[in-house]
Structure 1
């Protein structure tokens, strides 16, 4: 459903090809004019601008990153073999994280086969959505609490990412319609809760973002410059930026979207209001909880989410949650769900490695530091806004960290930021725009659930509300964190 939605909302119009040619032609003309006038364009700046432009022109993110990285390398004087080698040699770190994503995807699909989410949705819908009592305030706050809890668990305790949304939300649309609940507030709750949980809690996807990506890249770039950060510092550094996200969610609930909004009670919503309760055999129920507990234990004991997801997948298969012969099919579905993220993260490591190989990161940092001077407040604000601009282009915070780290870490050290402030700026700059990007899996997942009856627009009802409420508060609180940490 999510992939289909991405195609529907991101499909190019008949004039997009002409616009793309015009924009690329204009960029080429500016580049040639600058070179002719003797102005040297920094290879890192060139690569990032080209990557963002290609993403905005709806070129696949993976292709945009490869093309931009190679152009930056060639502009810096590297030969094609040298640029290709620099790109390929740095794919390994990203590939390790990407494989974890693939295994989590397989585990998520296997969990969905257990019927637990359908059972939960059916029980809630049957209990809350049968009569006029479903118009009470208690029902609304129960739903809000459910959405927050499910979003947090989907990133940490039961790492299924956005797979729960198209299963949990549609059966509750009838209840939400009777409550006259504005679906935009639900989109904000889902986006803010998901974003906050993986940025703050070091389990599941949080362990990947904080420890395997943010920590690794900060140390990889910072160690030669004298910066060393530890895993214990990650949640401390991200606490204030996350408070900004949660503040945005509170504003959406109590201010922006508190007024009732009417939706048509479509046949689909009426049908979903009372779905059949799935029957789950006791053995499958026990096996599901054992698989979840095993995945959590592997994270806590070995800090290995890949191993936990794999063991959980095998436990569900052995217990008959799905047929043994269907393992390939389940794994393939999980691969499809996470493939885009895994590929982007893998290529992002090569992108960052090639930018470093150009040798133009240091001159860019020096020029930026000279421009900013001793004004750390201005430097922090600029880094956050640039990070927002980059991440909004392709909608993935996990892939943004390797791109930003080679520039942001040296710049933070040059401006005198502390290790905690450096991590806060890097992590927040990468995460800004993840919730609110048209291409983000978070906003696509929210639309996939809330638009099940065709009454929730992806851009107007998911992208714009989540962008405003998840990012404005985060920019302010991340800037404060950079100043006080």
Structure 2
């Protein structure tokens, strides 16, 4: 059973690196996991399709957020944001990348819209990036940092959900900690991500890259040219801001992204920020923008269901723990490695936590780890792989914004850079945290 996880994730990784469509790669990997776990092909298909429903809410949210994003872009309000960024960074690539990382960080807590801001903000900036000869791999790294580091380190917004998930999962296994204690245990692993971001910005991708020499993949889309005409704030922009605030309030009060996105989208038409006769075009653009991400998340949920339902993850942890004895450093290393493998396959740190916690707590407790160290292990193991997974929204979101002209490859320009700069330091810092806490 344990081999089902390892082999299926290897298949997913190889297919992705060979530039096979991510959705197809996930489906093939999921079916491989089921067949290796001795399920029949029919049983595998049934389990896969049944478990796809686990991400139905998320998928619908992304489609509606795509429509909302397309409506916001239609009003032209993004022009003001782009011109502000241009004036603020004054052509300095380091400032631009750090500003993008900060804006992305706000999407997890201050204005919790997650990846929905990327299709709004990034495409209008592509022409400026190319004029600056900015390496888009650095932009992808900055975006993924902002989508991931805040929830790893800060118990606010999506971070509160992440830390409470760790808290609840540990409590079910008999270990109780406050959210504040869990946040303190994740501080050191989070520092690893900061180190990775600085390395990416100022070392790995510091050189200029001329995208006029890059061959587009598939049919390139039109990108907006740099518009130097001063931005004028109009009534439709005020209506847009009201819709955005309303969407955020509804999302926060209800805890449902679907309701928030639907509220914002409906208000855009009711307040005439966007003409009603443009609704069909807006929704089509939104589905085009976010539809693939939604389907990938559905497939990833089906994959996760097969790994969980067949007991493959539990078997992998049991097989690993059986050879560890009481060597804490080795125990921590192997548990984090298991977390990396599982999360790359499942593609979501939030969904991985409950699966890993029930297995990690008894193993780590027996090995002599403190409750804080166990929290660091679970949190780090869950977060590991999220940035480097082909099926993660932390990588799918940046690609959706940066590949508007077909010149940014999802695997080689987003997944591989984020895996190197975030998963490796997160692994090292998380391993250190588990040994010193």
- The correspondence of residues 309-458 of structure 1 with structure 2, limited to 5 A, is 309-324=261-276, 326-327=278-279, 330-331=282-283, 333-334=286-287, 336=291, 338-344=293-299, 346-348=301-303, 350-356=305-311, 361=314, 365-392=317-344, 396-398=348-350, 400-401=352-353, 404-405=356-357, 407-437=359-389, 440-443=392-395, 445-446=397-398
Residue 46 of structure 1 pairs with residue 4 of structure 2: yes
Residue 170 of structure 1 pairs with residue 126 of structure 2: yes
What's the TM-score, normalizing by structure 2? 0.75
Please give the per-residue CA displacement for 1:376-407, whole angstroms capped at 9, x wherever unaligned.
Answer: 22121122233334444575545544664564
Please give the per-residue CA displacement for 1:249-300, whole angstroms capped at 9, x wherever unaligned.
Answer: 1223344444x5363779x999834455666532x32333333333443455
- The correspondence of residues 41-440 of structure 1 with structure 2, limited to 5 A, is 43-54=1-12, 56-57=14-15, 58=20, 60-64=24-28, 66-71=30-35, 74=38, 94-125=55-86, 127=87, 134=90, 139-156=92-109, 157-159=111-113, 161=115, 162-164=118-120, 166-177=122-133, 181-201=134-154, 205-206=158-159, 209-211=162-164, 218=169, 223=172, 225-228=173-176, 235-258=183-206, 260-261=207-208, 263=210, 272-274=225-227, 281-282=234-235, 284-298=236-250, 300-324=252-276, 326-327=278-279, 330-331=282-283, 333-334=286-287, 336=291, 338-344=293-299, 346-348=301-303, 350-356=305-311, 361=314, 365-392=317-344, 396-398=348-350, 400-401=352-353, 404-405=356-357, 407-437=359-389, 440=392
Q: Does 152-161 or 230-239 show the bigger shift?
A: 230-239
Max Rg structure: 1
Query: Are the aligned partners of 2:62 and 2:293 in contact in 1 as well (CA < 8 Å)?
Result: yes
The CA deviation at 1:463 is: 4.3
The CA deviation at 1:474 is: 0.9
Query: Are the aligned partners of 1:174 and 1:270 in contact in 2 as well (CA < 8 Å)?
Result: no
Change (3 A) 1:296 1:367: same
2:217 aligned partner: none
Change (3 A) 1:231 1:272: same
Query: Are the aligned partners of 2:48 and 2:306 in contact in 1 as well (CA < 8 Å)?
Result: yes
Query: Are the aligned partners of 1:99 and 1:342 in contact in 2 as well (CA < 8 Å)?
Result: no
Rounded Cα–Cα distance in structure 2 between residues aligned with 1:205 and 1:330: 28
Rounded Cα–Cα distance in structure 1 between residues aligned with 2:224 and 2:281: 29
Please give the per-residue CA displacement for 1:322-373, whole angstroms capped at 9, x wherever unaligned.
Answer: 33355566456256154135304532552354134x8x93x65444323111
The CA deviation at 1:170 is: 0.8
Rounded Cα–Cα distance in structure 1 between residues aligned with 2:300 and 2:114: 18
The CA deviation at 1:62 is: 4.6
2:218 aligned partner: none
Rounded Cα–Cα distance in structure 2 between residues aligned with 1:349 and 1:265: 40
Rounded Cα–Cα distance in structure 1 between residues aligned with 2:34 and 2:13: 16
1:11 aligned partner: none
Please give the per-residue CA displacement for 1:67-113, whole angstroms capped at 9, x wherever unaligned.
Answer: 245335536xx9976x7887777666544454444444444444333
Please give the per-residue CA displacement for 1:44-73, whole angstroms capped at 9, x wherever unaligned.
Answer: 432442354255334725524642453355
1:39 aligned partner: none
The CA deviation at 1:168 is: 4.2
Rounded Cα–Cα distance in structure 1 between residues aligned with 2:414 and 2:318: 39
Query: Are the aligned partners of 1:295 and 1:308 in contact in 2 as well (CA < 8 Å)?
Result: yes
What's the TM-score, normalizing by structure 1? 0.69
Query: Are the aligned partners of 1:114 and 1:280 in contact in 2 as well (CA < 8 Å)?
Result: no
Change (3 A) 1:423 1:345: farther
Query: Are the aligned partners of 1:165 and 1:446 in contact in 2 as well (CA < 8 Å)?
Result: no
Rounded Cα–Cα distance in structure 2 between residues aligned with 1:364 and 1:457: 32
The CA deviation at 1:311 is: 2.3
The CA deviation at 1:210 is: 4.9
Rounded Cα–Cα distance in structure 2 between residues aligned with 1:367 and 1:271: 53
The CA deviation at 1:473 is: 1.6
The CA deviation at 1:234 is: 5.2
- Stretches of structure 2 that go unaligned for 5 or more consecutive residues are 214-220
